[in-house]
Amino acid sequence: MKAALLFLATIAGVNSAALAPRQQQSLCELYAYWSGNGYELLNNLWGQDTATSGSQCTYLDGASSEGVQWHTTWTWEGGENNVKSYPYAGRQVPKGRKIADITSMPTSIKWDYDNEDIRANVAYDVFTAEDPDHVNSSGDYELMVWLARYGNVYPIGSSVGSVTIAGKTWDLWTGFNGDMRVYSFVPPSGTVKEFSADLKEFYAHLEQNYQFPSSTQNVIVYQVGSEAFTGGPATFTVSQFSAEAI
């Protein structure tokens, strides 16, 4: 659940304007980054030092104004309860967009794992903060919408009950990651490999039931990916991802 600071050095030499809709891009270095068409992709290996061995590469398979296709391949051993990576695709949102000023956050994704004998999740991850210039490695609040969890991994905090949002039932977990309040909506069982929803509905629930301060919270990152703990080799493939903040 930790995004990386996006240093300009990591994007040197990447000409996003030159990327055709089906052109590939390989990202194998720590925090290797691509952006284009209002989207971004990051090989976010923020926890790799907790592994005894392993590696990961992330690949852009296609991109247009309508979304991105990508995959990431990884193998990690050691430190089984530590996240090694969260490679993600994100929708770029202009600075200063508050949740209260966003009418809807429609998104859709289709994904698959070729190996499910792993310890990992698949999850949306949205950071918000009162300071629009907050670093993108954290926020005041974190909203996670889990679409899968493999190998008995758990969200931060504890379960506070079940809710129905976007036509699905979710177990809601909440707790703290440092000073950041985390809300995680998790399927009670199974995986959700095709998902379309308005994430603003999740914020409406938090505002109505948990006093989430929509009028002061700016979107810092709006992303989806897979947190890898241990296992592999495994390939996480996103055949389509799109998102908006309208």
Positions marked catalytic:
142, 227
Contact criterion met (CB below 8 Å) for 223 and 127: no
Query: For residue 117, what are the β-bridge partners?
Result: none
With tokens 């994100």, the residue in question is: 90
Q: Residue 28 and residue 43: Cα distance in Å, rounded?
A: 7
Q: Residue 132 and residue 95: Cα distance in Å, rounded?
A: 6
Task: Record the tokens describing residue 137, joined without a space.
Answer: 């490695």
Q: Residue 229 and residue 95: Cα distance in Å, rounded?
A: 32
Contact criterion met (CB below 8 Å) for 126 and 221: yes
Contact criterion met (CB below 8 Å) for 44 and 89: no
Contact criterion met (CB below 8 Å) for 69 and 238: yes
Nearest to 227 by CA among 162, 157, 144, 159: 144
CA-CA-CA-CA torsion for 203, 209, 211, 216, nearest 10 degrees? 20
Q: What DSSP element (H or E) covers 207?
A: helix 200-210
Which amino acid would we find at residue 122? V
